[in-house]
Chain A
Amino acid sequence: AQKVTQAQTEISVVEKEDVTLDCVYETRDTTYYLFWYKQPPSGELVFLIRRNSFDEQNEISGRYSWNFQKSTSSFNFTITASQVVDSAVYFCALSSNSGGSNYKLTFGKGTLLTVNP
């Protein structure tokens, strides 16, 4: 079975603060993919990043960065100098071959990020 845990239900920060969203995953597979999606109030999930289990390189994209650590089964997401437009629900998700269904995403419960001006 696979599982994604996002322990932070809600986070509130003031604009320009840095914020880290935590994600811990469980899978028996050695090959898997991890994702982050953003869900703004409009409801549409927007893809942010994908990482495969063999690539532990951290990634930076503008104000966004991701820290993948297989040793702790974590894939954390940091927003630097947060902005009000970053306010949304952020989901971490996992895709693996468990059960022969490699196309399904297992999502965490999400973290609601509120950035106050």
Chain B
Amino acid sequence: DTGVSQDPRHKITKRGQNVTFRCDPISEHNRLYWYRQTLGQGPEFLTYFQNEAQLEKSRLLSDRFSAERPKGSFSTLEIQRTEQGDSAMYLCASSSGYGMGEKLFFGSGTQLSVL
């Protein structure tokens, strides 16, 4: 499978716990994105990496959220002290382009439920 893979597919946690998600982009894709999708809404941009550099974070991303992409390969998204409002689908996407209009390849997402 050469697509974008995300792990785990589902995560149930209790409020206040920390969680970490992993995304493996398509090999050699230089750009990696995290989006968040809540029920009945379209995906919303969270953050973006160009190789290993995190170039932008949305104001949606509170201080409890942190993302990394060591060596420009896979990426992790960590949420500390989870809140019920963090419950959502977290989508990862990658692309090989350098400008506007590039096609994104999405993973199947990690569904987070905070109890």
Contacts and interface: CB of A to CB of B under 8 A. Distances in A.
Interface string B75-115: 00000000000000101010000011111111111010000
Given A43-B89, A108-B42, A109-B40, A103 B109 contact: no
Contacts, number: 63
B2 interface: no
Contact of A102 (B45, B100, B109): B100
A16 interface: no
Interface in A64-87: none
A50 B48 contact: no
B56 to A, nearest CB: 6
Interface residues of B, number: 26
Interface of A: 4, 9, 31-33, 37, 42-47, 50, 52, 91, 93, 95-97, 101-110
A53 to B, nearest CB: 10
A44 B107 contact: yes
Given A33-B100, A33-B101, A45-B91, A107 B44 contact: yes
Contacts of B40: 9, 109-110
Given A43-B89, A45-B91, A104 B45 contact: yes
